[in-house]
Amino acid sequence: MKILREKSIHITTIATIEQMDEYFDKTDYGVVLCGRSNVGKSTFINAFFRNGLARTSKTPGKTRDVQVFSFTIADRDGEERQFTAFDLPGFGHARVSKQERKRWDILIADFFDTFHTKCLFLHLMDAQHPFLENDRLFHEFFHKFDAEHWQIFNKIDKLKKQSDRAKFKNILKSSLTTSFAISADKKQDLKQLEDAFISYLLKQ
């Protein structure tokens, strides 16, 4: 079972609820990268699906609409199946105008409303600062829509101090949700997560 990276492509950009409705019927099953701005959602797309596919940036707020990608998985018999990956804009980022922020927040709320039955939600957090205010907003969505969601703690390469790593291990241990700790940028510890979501997707 593996992702055929050469077959990953950018499909479209969704900026309005009408475009979302239109896309719904075309979608088989998908994974959604969600979480605060700058936690590494677009870097995750590049690490798992194909380098250079999504635009990343040091400046938070890079992904402004919902970016839609298609990726292909070959199962054990070599049969190929296509899935969708959605890269959401970061929730509630402060450095954009109030109006733009409102548009994003509505877009994300609409996204959950439309796609919650068809997606595995990967909630990315920065391992250095997990469970911040906006992460709670995502939790509200997961519970409201009863959406399948896993927690992904990214940037573990930045946990350099032993005390930080120990604190983080405790957070992971006490988590009640399926959780993974990775570094998307340094491509660290990706395999276990990749195997898990491939298996999950092939069952859908």
Choosing from 3, 27, 89, 123, the residue that interacts with ligand GTP (CB under 6 A) is 89
Closest CB 125 distance from Mg ion, rounded Å: 14
Q: Pick out residues in 46-75 that bind ligand GTP (CB under 6 A).
A: 56-58, 60-63
Choosing from 42, 46, 70, 84, the residue that interacts with Mg ion (CB under 5 A) is 42
What whole-number distance in Å separates Cα of residue 92 and Cα of residue 182?
24
Closest CB 83 distance from ligand GTP, rounded Å: 19
Residue 91's closest CA among 152, 53, 41?
Answer: 41
Instruction: Please name the helix (run of DSSP H) or strand (run of DSSP E) that holds residue 31, with its range, or none.
Output: strand 30-34
90 binds ligand GTP (CB under 6 A): yes
Residue 11's closest CA among 71, 88, 74?
Answer: 71
Coil, strand, or helix at residue 125?
strand
**Residues 159-188, mask of contacts with ligand GTP (x by CB under 6 A):** ------------------------xxxx--
Q: Which amino acid is at 201?
A: L
Closest CB 184 distance from ligand GTP, rounded Å: 4
37 binds Mg ion (CB under 5 A): no
Residues 153 and 127 sit within 8 Å (Cβ to Cβ)? yes
Residue with Cβ nearer Mg ion (4 or 128): 128
Q: At what angle do helices 17-24 and 98-115 cross, to 10 degrees?
A: 20
Residues 118 and 30 sit within 8 Å (Cβ to Cβ)? yes
Determine the Cα angle at 106 with ends 103 and 107, to 5°: 85
Choosing from 63, 70, 151, 179, the residue that interacts with Mg ion (CB under 5 A) is 63
92 binds ligand GTP (CB under 6 A): no
Binding site for ligand GTP (CB under 6 A): 37-43, 56-58, 60-63, 89-90, 154-155, 157-158, 183-186
